[in-house]
Amino acid sequence: MKRVFIRGNVAIAEASLVAGLKFYAGYPITPTSDIMEYLHLKLPRYGGLAVQFEDEIASINAIIGASWAGAKSMTATSGPGFSLMLEGLSLAHITETPIVVVYVMRTGPATGVPTRSGQADILQARFGAHGDYITPIYAPSSVQEAFDLTIKAFNTAEKLRTPVILLSDAVIAHLWENMIFRDRDEVEIIERKRPNTDPSNYLPYKPEDDGVAPMAEFGKGYHILVESLTHDERGYYVPTTEVQRRMIERITKKILLHIDYVYEQKTYLTDDADYIIVSYGSSSRTAKSVVNDLRARGVKIGLLDIKTLWPLNEYAIKKVCESCTRIFVLENNIGKFVWDIQRIVRDIDVIPVSIIDLDLPDPDEALKVIEKWL
């Protein structure tokens, strides 16, 4: 354990090395390229390999292939690249492949402002790929969280045999902060379950009691089938309603069964709060500043800082908010996460505080909006 002073993207890269990353495939894109460059240099020293491919579509497909060859794998991108990766993400879901996709949001749509931030893509991260599935999404608001949540992303991917998104933004990417660096033996590292039966009894998509099927890898005599069509437990294409339902239930249930592991939120001064600001990512930093300013004025206000943007533990969110008179949702987009909070808390007033900013929302601007509603 040691204290280091680094920037967010480097924290993510270092965390992936601690978690056991062995294969990285990527494509240059601002503001994420430095993760790829860092790993190109460092990953071989850990016995792994980073390769730049011809586009993001090749990158996401390559890391799925690498995961089936037994390697923990990752890619990192931003809005335009993630849009290209959607079909690949869909493939990772139906084949139940553990991968980590680091998505550093930037200003959009289209090319937008490559070097600056935004939070417009949270629903794309959640639902952008076609089909029914649940992608765990972790959103750091600090360099320490970027490190910790990247390790958690790998653990979630391996534990639940699923793709996971680490949803950062351009602010956190190049923000320099102190953080505590923990190495392999100081944190929990989870490895995927491997089959404990011989090849003739092994079914690649048959879940055990925890909802997750053990995952064999290429080259070990299991003759596995990685199948992009709707398939049964053997991986054979069976186009029937019954098998489709079973498959969708399998891939969604395994996430929900472990929601207590996956879902994380942080609360700040919420115990006696009349008002709560809900926020996430770099906008939480703005929200915290607003909370401090208003508390200094005697307003009983708190912050609910969401770390897992999907799936949501609605009970946990409701519990924090239930004794408030009004809730604010502060985000750097036209108002997207606010819909979840409105849906979850229902009978409490929810005010969207949508502040579009090329950096994180300006605390003074946010304060001006919020104080009108106190």
Partner 1 sequence: MGLSKEDLVYRVIRNNNDKFRVNVLIDRCKECRLCVIVCPNKVLVMSEEFNIRGFHYPLPLHMEKCVGCKLCEYSCPDFAIYVEVIKS
Partner 2 sequence: MAIEALTLKAPLHPLDKYLRLTRIPTLWCPGCGLGVLLGCLLRAINRRVEEEVLKRDNLVFVTGIGCSARTTFYVDFDGAHTLHGRAIAFASGAKLANPDLELIVIGGDGDIAAIGGNHLIHAARKNMDMFVIMNTNFIYAMTGGQLAPTTPLKVITTTTPYGNPERPLDVIKLLSVFEINYLARGSTTHPHILENYFYKALGLKGFRFVEVVSTCPEIFGRHMGIRDAIQLYNELKKRIIFKPKPKPEESMISWEKGIIIGEFMINNYESFIELIKKTTYGIEN
Question: Which spans of this chain sit near partner 1 (rule: CB under 8 A)?
Answer: 200, 203, 233-234
Nearer to partner 2, 52 or 265 (CB): 52
Question: Minimum Å distance from CB 234 to partner 1?
Answer: 6
Instruction: Report the candidate in 361, 357, 354, 367 with the shortest Cα–Cα distance to residue 301.
Output: 367
Q: Please, what is the minimum distance in Å from the beta carbon of residue 275 to partner 1?
A: 57
Contacts 24+ apart (CB under 8 A), 49-52: 49/22, 49/23, 49/24, 50/23, 50/24, 50/25, 50/26, 51/24, 51/25, 52/25, 52/26, 52/27, 52/28
Between 233 and 314, CB nearer to partner 1: 233
CB of 213 to partner 2, least distance (A): 16
**Cβ nearer to partner 1, comparing 114 with 214:** 214
Please report, as ranges, the residues that interact with partner 2 according to CB under 8 A: 22-23, 25, 44, 49, 51, 53-55, 57-59, 61-71, 73, 87-88, 91, 217-229, 236-237
For residue 131, the minimal CB distance to partner 1 (Å) is: 25
Binds 233, which of partner 2, partner 1, none (CB < 5 to 8 A, cut-off by type)? partner 1
To partner 1, the closest distance from the beta carbon of 276 in angstroms equals: 51
Residue 338 contacts residue 261 (beta carbons within 8 Å): no
241 binds, among partner 1, partner 2, none (CB under 5 to 8 A by kind): none
Task: State which residue, 196 or 200, has the beta carbon closest to partner 1.
Answer: 200
For residues 36 and 196, give the distance between their C-alpha atoms in angstroms, rounded to a whole number: 35
Q: Is 180 helix (H, G, I), strand (E, B) or coil?
A: strand
For residue 187, what are its two tokens? Answer: 């944190």
C-alpha triplet 72, 78, 83: angle, nearest 5°: 90
| Residue tagged 């089936």 (tokens) | 68
Q: CB 260: neighbour CB atoms within 10 A?
A: 9
Residue 107: contacted member of partner 2, partner 1, none (CB under 5 to 8 Å, by partner type) = none
Nearest approach, Cβ of residue 57 and partner 2 (Å): 7
**Which does residue 54 bind out of partner 2, partner 1, none, counting CB within 5 to 8 angstroms by kind?**
partner 2
- Residue carrying structure tokens 């993207």: 9
Residues sharing a CB contact under 8 Å with residue 64, sequence separation 6 or more, in sequence order? 73, 88, 91, 92, 95, 97, 99
Cβ closer to partner 2: 99 or 139? 99
- Contact of residue 22 among partner 2, partner 1, none (CB under 5-8 Å per partner type): partner 2
Read off the amino acid at residue 328: F
| Interaction partner, residue 356 (partner 2, partner 1, none; CB < 5-8 Å by kind) | none
Smallest distance, Å, CB 368 to partner 2? 48
Bridge pairing between strands 326-331 and 349-354:
parallel
**Binding partner at 200 among partner 2, partner 1, none, C-beta below 5 to 8 Å by kind:** partner 1
Cα–Cα dist 108/15, whole Å: 27
